[in-house]
Amino acid sequence: MTNAFTVKNLSYRYPKAKQDAVAGLDFEVREGEIFGLLGPSGAGKSTTQKILTKLLEDYRGSIQCFGQDLRQTGKAYYEQIGVGFEMPVHFTKLTAMENMNFFRGFYTKGADVQALLTRVGLWEYRDVRVGEYSKGMKVRLNFVRAMLNAPRILFLDEVTNGLDPANARIIKDMIAEFRQGGGTVFLTTHLMSDVEQLCDRVAFCVQGKLAEVSTPRELKLRYGSRMVTVEYREAGGVERRSFPMEGIGANAEFLSLLREKEIETLHSGETSMEDIFIRVTGVKVA
């Protein structure tokens, strides 16, 4: 499998900062996958994206993009990447369409802007000034902007932040389709639902370091255990207990609960990515 990125011992310190924002990251992003960088606020996710998109240059360590040293890539690199910034950046006095035409002008190849705007529900608002857009509309326009040059690699920083569930779903579907079309996605998020629904592989980032790089499935197998949760009546209230699925039929405590208590609900579930993150890093994500 080809690597879109091979990152070795990547570190970065902001000018005047006392410590590294990114402190020795090693990871690979494979061509055609959705790679998620996950972590709490301040972990170094946005900084890592800014380095990979060549916004921050004097990093330490090495980055190869499709086998080429990132430092050696020229303007052609920007033709290949689409970037969704954490904070939407648009000209507020211009309409959405004027903004998109402006940004599209930087590139030699382009995507179908009408199709993209239609998909995110903004085509009918294309002639409205972006200054009049709601937060969610700006976020959706920001995503369209990242897709404008029909990129090979898409960078998305907290792409669903500020979106209602229906609009978040549309964007996630579009990201999944982009991957199906052969595109590579590097996304950063503090939202577990993004990871569970989208990512092929995920890296946990805390204080500029990676704690774990794996697939959501592998993480669940390794750290997760399937549990059965029982809710039962006790002293006028409802109590709740969880038991491991393994050996449940021989679990005396579980069986006596079933026999002796009035059961309200009984359900099984997998450990969530959120629980796993906390277990691996000892830090709460959001």
Ligand X SMILES: Nc1ncnc2c1ncn2[C@@H]1O[C@H](COP(=O)(O)OP(=O)(O)O)[C@@H](O)[C@H]1O
Q: Which positions touch ligand X (CB under 6 A)?
A: 14, 17, 21, 39, 41-47
Radius of gyration of the chain from its Cα atoms, rounded to whole angstroms: 22
Residue 123: CB partners within 8 Å, gap ≥ 6? 114, 117
Among residues 29 and 257, whose Cβ is nearest to ligand X? 29
Candidates 37-45, 69-77, 219-227, 261-269: pick the segment binding Mg ion (CB under 5 A): 37-45
Candidates 42-50, 141-149, 216-224, 250-258: pick the segment binding Mg ion (CB under 5 A): 42-50
Shortest Cβ 194–Mg ion spacing (Å): 13
Candidates 29-37, 46-54, 166-174, 276-284: pick the segment binding Mg ion (CB under 5 A): 46-54
Shortest Cβ 285–Mg ion spacing (Å): 12
Two structure tokens written together for 141? 């326009």
| From ligand X, Mg ion, none, interface partner of 95 (C-beta below 5 to 8 A by class) | none
Contact in structure between 281 and 268 (CB atoms under 8 Å): no
Shortest Cβ 228–ligand X spacing (Å): 36
Q: Does residue 5 sit in helix, strand or coil?
A: strand
53 sits near Mg ion (criterion: CB under 5 A):
no
Number of H helices, E strands in the chain: 10, 13
Contact in structure between 48 and 205 (CB atoms under 8 Å): yes
CA distances from 94 to 82, 89, 99, 129, 140 (A): 21, 12, 6, 5, 16
Instruction: Tell me the C-alpha distance between 208 and 51, whole Å.
Output: 13
| From Mg ion, ligand X, none, interface partner of 43 (C-beta below 5 to 8 A by class) | ligand X
Q: Closest by alpha carbon to 36, among 192, 191, 188, 207?
A: 188
Residue 33: CB partners within 8 Å, gap ≥ 6? 179, 184, 185, 200, 201
Candidates 41-49, 59-67, 87-95, 121-129: pick the segment binding Mg ion (CB under 5 A): 41-49
Shortest Cβ 40–ligand X spacing (Å): 7
| From Mg ion, ligand X, none, interface partner of 17 (C-beta below 5 to 8 A by class) | ligand X
49 sits near Mg ion (criterion: CB under 5 A):
no
Q: Closest by alpha carbon to 77, among 151, 146, 188?
A: 151
Shortest Cβ 283–Mg ion spacing (Å): 15
Among residues 47 and 160, whose Cβ is nearest to ligand X? 47
Among residues 21 and 213, whose Cβ is nearest to Mg ion? 21
Among residues 183 and 208, whose Cβ is nearest to ligand X? 208
CA distances from 71 to 57, 58, 205 (A): 8, 10, 24
Shortest Cβ 120–Mg ion spacing (Å): 22
Q: Closest by alpha carbon to 174, among 161, 160, 162?
A: 160
Residue in the shown chain whose Cβ atom is closest to Mg ion: 46
46 sits near Mg ion (criterion: CB under 5 A):
yes
Instruction: Output the furthest CA–CA distance in the chain (Å, rounded).
Output: 72
Shortest Cβ 44–Mg ion spacing (Å): 8
Among residues 17 and 252, whose Cβ is nearest to ligand X? 17
Residues at the site binding Mg ion, with contacts judged by CB under 5 A: 45-46
